[in-house]
Structure 1
Amino acid sequence: MKRKLTIISLAAALTLSAEINSPFADGCLQRGIVLLRNDFTQGAIDQFDIARHSSPTPTQDADIAWGKAIATLREGNIDSARGLLQKYIEAYPATSQTLKARIALADCDFYQGRYREALSAYNAISPSAPDLALADDLIYRTAYCDMMLGNTSKALAGFAALTSSPVYANASRFYQGYIYYTQGEYAEARHLFDTVDKYSSPGDQAPYFLTQIAFHEANYDQALAMARRAISESPHSPYAPEMLRIAGESSYQTGDTPEAISYLQRYLDTTSIDKAEPSALYILGINAYQQGELDRAVKLLTPVTEQPDAIGQSAYLYIGQAFLQQGNMDAAIMALEKAYRLDYDPSVRETAFYNYAVTRMEGGRTPFGSSVALMEDFLRTYPNSRFAPQVQEYLVTGYITDSNYDQALASINAISRPTPAIIAAKQRVLYILGSRDLANNRTTQALERFRESKALAPQADKNMGAETELWIGDCLYRLGRYPDAATAFSSYLRTAPKSSPNRTIALYDLAYTRFAQRRYNEALADFKKVIDASGQSSAEPRITADAYCRIADCQYYSSDFNAAAANYDRALSANPATGDYPLFQKAVMRGLSGAHDEKIDMLDQMMQTYPTSGLMASALLEKAESLLALNRSDEALGVYSRLVAKYPATSQGRNGYLQMAITQMSLGHTSDAIATYKKVISSYPTSDEARVASDDLKRILADEGRLDQYTAFIASVPDAPRLDTTEIDQLTFQSAEKSYLASGATDRLKDYIDRFPSGQHAPQALNYLATASLENGNHSEALTYATTLVTRFPHSEASEEGLAIKGEIELESGNAEQALATFRTLESSASGARNIQAARLGIMRVSRDLGHHADVIAAADALLSSSALSTDRRTEVLYSRAYALAQQGNTAQAAAEWEKLASDTDDLYGAMSAFHLAQQQFDKGNIKQARRTVNALIDSNTPHQYWLARGYILLSDISRSQGNTFEADEYLKSLRENYPGSEADIFRMIETRLKK
């Protein structure tokens, strides 16, 4: 409430004398008083200052101080006046002016709007103390303070006490009317406003409130007439914009839309859209919508949606319909969903939902919104709606288009009499859920889903049923149920169309099933079919190459070495990038045929071409073996030396030491052989090779009569093999192992470790225990067993498995540096491709987390060059390599890799690739391209909800950059309401953007 008040005429307290023309202090004082009474405040202040410097008497000095304080207050210099008044009260605490000074000091707070402080000061003054004029001033200001502080009862009582005041009667009636107006008591307010003087302040504001009262009472004709008069008489009044609004809204209510729009547009021209009344924006927005000005309609109606009432609900409905007409289905569905969820107007809610359902079927998306749940809610709320039949049809399609398949399945299962369309929907939902379970290694659950889906095929989609058989076979293969898997793959091949793109995959899987069963003749025939089918399809080169490798393996196991070598050649030609294995095997084949020179050449070629291959240690071992076969023992010793120098911790390296010792013995270099055997025992005392070396060393030294030296040496090496290996050690372990392999029981293994902590089989027992604990989710226990294994038996073959488990747990627990060291150790000691791959995967992951991008790329390149890398791991490796490249600034190469991976967003790294590709495009300013990429991610219904949420946040950023603020905000609001996850960064990103 704006006030217009005058300063209390406290100057009356000063008295005049006859010496007004005197040039001395008394004359200056008298002139100052006259000027003050005539409102010449600055002149008065000047006279008072002259008087002060003209040797005034003590009485005159008090009057001068008082006069200057009051003049300064009336001049409007409140802070200076406050200081002068405080000094006056301190200097003259008991004069006749002291009470007036205290009132004036309270007035300083009053004029500065510090009503709480002013009220406290006024209340401290006794009502009986001032004279009548000052008493009215005090009552008026006290009542005004109460009004401004919300103490309306006290304010009304105070103003009522001034009804007969010659100074304040008009203002008191006005403020009483104002208080009744704010309380909604319009009749009492109107009566009081009608009685005030409308030509003086504050009564001149009464017409404004009388117009408001007429409008609030729906007396639109009167409100319109009064608003028109106010606009005409006072076009530049502070209340003119509000009068324009009332005129516009009153015209709208009386049916004169053109006049209404004219007034309201003039109102909006004087008021920013963020401060305009929602009711005015609503009328303008609806008119814009009706005129086809859809962008303007959305802009005007967007602020209205903040209203928690029917008008806000209706605004959402119109915004949704506007976007629907523009073809912006995502923005439309979010607005329509909001209109439906607001429960103010049932008819608006019903219409909003039907439009929502239509938009949903047209492809509209809302972040993590469940169309199924919304449709079910609608049918429960409006079972007799005219839209109910269409909604029931949309519901069937909604089961498929909704990304929450678990909820969709639960909804379908709740239907007692499903229609054929519902059964078909259930078949597809189960199929998708099975695929996702399998992608996330929930193999048993996936198998159940696929079997249930297949059972529905006779009533639904037979082609999908046939494809499901392929997935069933995949599940059974992963579970090690090879005969059942072969049956499933064979069934698929019998029923699937010849043109099915998955026939090659089915043949490939069937062949691997035979191979796993060691039915090599059948596997050979099936892998040949894969080759034939690959020639007629677009099968990946790595599949063709792998099929040739397995054909060659089958022929190798059948001792058909020449044929095997030929097929290893074909594998190498089909995919040279993963040619280390076929080239190695081909070399071995040549050796088995007696062509050792050729074998050596091929091994050299393999080692030169694939220097990071996991087969390097094996290749050196094989090369030395062929050199020995050619009686080139010295060269063989050189290769052994190279092997043990580069791969000392591997089983091949340890075997190399043994073979070196044997070769040295064959050459008569007994002392060298003894030294080599001792090297094996002292360096790798817990390894199997150390046991063999110990036996050989014992025999040599016994033959030379130096068994005491052997005993002394063995005793000097901690953990070295002892002379006696008790039979009970062997029997106890065998019993424990049998129990574990049969039922997973670990009690006997623990008992074995307790009884034989350094037993011959302790490494394998610890490996079993670590593996069992890991599988049971007891990571702490698994880490303890694995650490014990690699610490006490670092050279045993089982320690490789221990290192893999230890590194995995350390990585998961956030101990990145320790995990990296563990994986580096595993990489240097692993003897087989599987553990080398595990080590490099670990190195890549830790380096990725630590931001060591060059190390990520190096590890990824080594992994990708191996033929042993599985498909699921391959996507992670490709993603990680692309991410590291992007961080190094090689964005083009990263984008190319991400684009390939983004085609499969069911895979975690496919979803991550799609997001990072879109983000990179957006960061580079390729807005349209970024929108296409992120839309593809969202449309894919990826099961990886975190990355889907990141996609919606990016889509909001894209929309905002294009000026679509409503759409950008609604994506974020819907995501905040619907996101099922709890990741703090998602909600932080949402809130940060909404606050901008």
Structure 2
Amino acid sequence: MMNMFKSNNMLAVCAALFLSSSALTVQAQSEDGHPVYTGELRDALRLKEKGMTAQSTYNLAEIADKTGNADAEGLSVLGDVLMRVPGYENRLNAFVAENPHSLYVTQMYFAHGLNRFDAGDYAVARKIFGVVELKDLYEGQKDEYLFRKAYCDLEAGRFKDALDGFYMVEKRPVTDFTAPSRYAIGYILYRNRDFSRAQEWFEKASVDDRFTDIASYYILECRFMLKDHRYVTANGDAMYDAVPESRRPHLARIISESWLVLGDADKARKYYDLGIGDGNGPDSRTDWFYSGSVLYAVDDYEGAIRSFSNMTERTDSIGQVANYHLGYCYIQTRNKVAAVEAFRDAALADFDPKITEDAYFNWAKLAFDINTDTSVFNDYIKKYPAKEQEDRINSYIAVAALHDRDYEGAVNAYDKIDELDEDMTLNYMKANYLRAVQLVESGSYRLAIPCLKAAAYYSERGSRFNQLSRFWLAESYYRNDQYDDAIEVFTDLYNTSALYGRPESYLIPYNIGYCHFKKENYPSALKWFDSYISEPESQYRKEALERRADCFFIQKKYKEACAAYDLVLNDYFNVNDIYPYYQAALSYGLVKKADKKVELLSNVMKASADAEFYPEAMFELGRTYVAKEEDDKAFECFSRMAEKVKDSTFVARAYIEMGSLSRNQSQYNEALGYYKAVVEQMPMSGYAEDALAAIESIYQTRNQPDEYLDYIEAIGKGGIKTDDEKESMLFNSAEQIFLSENYQKALVSLQSYLDKYPDGANAYKADFYMAESYRMLDKLEQACDSYRRVIEKGEGSFVELSMLNFSNLSYRMERWDDAYGGYSSLYSAALLENNKYAAVLGMMRSAYKAHNHTEAIKNADKVIADSRTDASVKSEALYIKAKSYLSSSRRQEAYSIFAQLAKDASTVYGAEAAYLIILDSYDKGEFEAVETKVYAFSDAGTGQMYWLAKSFIVLGDSFVERGEYEQAKATFESVRDGYTPSGNDDDVLDNVNIRLKKLAELMAEEI
């Protein structure tokens, strides 16, 4: 609001209108006690009455000189005072000193006070008036005396004394000083912001023609200050034409503000323009503020931006309003980047709570829209914890995340909403399902389970979406060894013929069968495998046939097992697929069909030594030949094993068998060689004891006990095995299986060791090998469980490697917090510099994925500063740093790095940086710059087509903003027709089609 209190102007008007020459007159003394003049003295006084004041004073002075008459002297001095004769003060002071009780002293001081008043020396005049007693003045002088004395108090700022004086005048009979006093009272009350009473006194003063115009003007100001804007607008037009030119800018401002308050922005603009004409433009913060307010009201957003920006500071109450309006002005001019700063400044001020809250919300929304910064929304929710608004915010964040295919972010946002409406529910179940798909693809089944449960819970039970969600829920249960839960869901789907016609439908009995198989419920497993095999669409028929046969075998129904395995071999025989014919051979052996067993096992002679079950089948074939007393064939089998098999356990067994064959043929030296190879080369294989016993037997047979004793002394063997040695042997056996890369069998052997020695010296090694086996079998969650146990209980390099692998797998499974924690531990504990570097890289990447921007930036700096960082990784680190800056609303720092990356638009980071720079221009409303930059990006010949396509979409958007719909349509269609998606997550065509649809609606509205 403008400053309305310009006392000099009001008082100047007052003085001009009613401050005239003194009303002082010299009256003849009468019956009231004053003397009556006679003779020469009367003649002198008559000259004054005729206007000959100077001659009268001269004559009076002569009379005084000749006669010494005090009255003549007093009248002469009074005349000098009235005529303002230079130096009259000396005569006045001398007369008062000689005649302090003279009746003329009061008149002299009164006249003297009037002289100083007229000279504008109000302080001296007030002092002189203070000597004068009201009762000593003539009746006709009293109003003037009271008024002028009060006026002096007014000029001195003694408003209460002045008000009391003016009230005294007003209470007396009406004179020429009544109206001026009323006006002055109005002024003082106006100045004290008592506009209602001030208006009353101005109205009383306006009755006097001298004050009609000026009082009416200030009545208008009072009504304005009382917010009676309708009065102002009703009377302002006529008054504006009538007031003096000098008063019009101020009056125009009042009228303009009133029209603005009443909502007529056009009339407000009209009077604003009148007020700033002829060089009367804004010259203060408040003027610029009002200028911006008017221009904002009439939608002149560019003008409003200039005016608000010209305010020197915007940190007070009107500054908050200015920043708030600036934010909306920038929105209207499409400059979101400037708008977010303006709303932020308005939000950080607390003068107007409503503005603060709304500005905070807009700041938060824009920071999220252009920076993907959710922190401001979070701060807003903490400051304004209204649940309904919080839900709207989280829904907005969730929808944006869905649009960007950030399903994790969408789920997290929706999880914060207690009650979902219909649209939210639809999006929530969609987000959960799509997030689950990502997690399943990364092997993170445990995290997928709650997502799939939510997708199933919120969707219609009979819908395909619900059924598909439950199918993958059951599959995730299975992968997490929750077989009962998996069976329950799969069985329910089966009983309702769920997903009929889809591939998943045919898999349901197969999956139920596997769940029962894992639970060792073999009769039920058989039932479901048979059901699956009977289906026309049985993608996994071979596996189902194998498990069906296994069910018979495990139940010791060997005859049925033979037939079942034959089904597999009849349809799917492969010499390197050893398991089915190996199992079939075992089954035939158990039903006493040795020839069939040999026939089947003989296939292994043609198989690769690297094939799974090669050592088992080859050993079994050799043992079968031994039983058939075909020693040469048996020896060939064991010899092949010793030569080709990686598993030292089987190698040891092969040597022992060859030793036995040699011994049976009395080839003791050869036998000793084989047995000693086991003892000396594979002492921890678990078969060293058997080999040593065979060596002892041979020496005894040859009657060479001393040589046996010499031998065991030489190799340090003797006595009964200790518990530690037995533990080591069991661990070593399991370790050898792991080293042979038979990971499934290794898991069984290692778990057997851990079951027997849970706190054994090699327990942490066993856990490490289990973790590695799970990792190689792509069971990542189980691998992490085992790695975690090594980290907690292990030692040495096993711990360091477990930290590295745990972190890598957690990152792969999108368990960002686990990954970051793992890498942090690795960084602190690693002895190998390469692992320390890997830890920093992992901390940078996982912190970025977890939206921990501070840590992402800190670790990116470490990566950039490391001499081992190559150009590609440095670009990645710069990218992460820039994106983290952007998500922290540190745009200037972010775009400085983007500019650096964009210099090489051939890389994925450089191409995205180029796109973001284009998007920045769009967000600033710089649409011509968008066009220039997009074409430059295209001309650069980048192979990063995704980001180039996204840039052309922004170009199309800029054409829409400029109203160039045909150009926008052509741009969008060129992308639609010429772009090939790079994968399922490619959102280019979706975005283009959405825009084309909206554009068609816009173009239809113009027709």
- TM-score (normalizing by structure 2): 0.43
TM-score of the two chains, using structure 1 as the length reference: 0.43
Higher-Rg structure is: 2
